[in-house]
Amino acid sequence: MSLPQTETTPKWMVWTGRVISALPVLMLIMSGLTKFHLGEENTANTIKMGWDPNIMPALGVVEIGSALLYVIPQTAVLGAILLTGYLGGAVATHVRLADWPHAPIAFVLGILVWVGLYLRDHRVRSLVPFRNLNS
């Protein structure tokens, strides 16, 4: 039987993790929703990036679905793994096109996904323990 998060994690850590997790979730849901109604400029950018505009709604479903899995505590690790893959693809696309201003955005969002999960889930912290260098 696993203990609830609040019994094993200080409240400040859980809430800090939730706030950090909210940024990538909100950005990914917003980005996913825009994939259902591409305007002319977004369609042109999609083609420029080498993507077929007809595939964008499916990518929107993947993006929103992964973000929702990440929000649910029982599926948060699966959501983080899926978001890592999705954001890794975004970084690769931007690097391939030498679109340097946009590549770090997806990279930073991926880091925030894991930092937020690390702070709010004791199981993730047990997998990646940081050692105290003073002891």
pLDDT in tens, the chain (135 residues): 454 554 577 899 999 999 999 999 999 999 999 999 888 988 998 898 888 999 999 999 999 999 999 999 999 999 999 999 999 999 999 999 998 998 999 999 999 999 999 999 988 988 887 766 565
- Residue of 117, 115, 93, 118 whose CA lies nearest to 106: 93
Whether 133 is covered by a domain: the verdict is no
Q: What total number of domains does the chain contain?
A: 1
**4 found inside a domain:** no
Distance CA 86, CA 127 (A): 22
- Please check whether residue 71 lies inside any domain of the structure: yes
H or E stretch at 67: helix 56-71
Is residue 120 within 8 Å of 21, Cβ to Cβ?
A: yes
Q: Side chain identity at 97, as an amino acid letter?
A: L
- Is residue 93, in this structure, part of any structural domain at all? yes
- Position 115 in a domain: yes
Per-residue confidence (pLDDT) for residue 5, from 0 to 100:
54
Helix, strand, coil % over all residues of the chain, rounded to 5: 75, 0, 25
Q: What residues make up the domain containing 70?
A: 9-127
| Residue 135 covered by a domain | no
CA atoms within 13 A on the CB side of 121: 22
Does any domain span residue 75? yes
**Cβ contact 119:16 at 8 Å:** yes
Q: Is residue 96 part of a domain?
A: yes
Helix and strand numbers (H, E) in the chain are 7, 0
Give pLDDT, residue 6.
Answer: 47
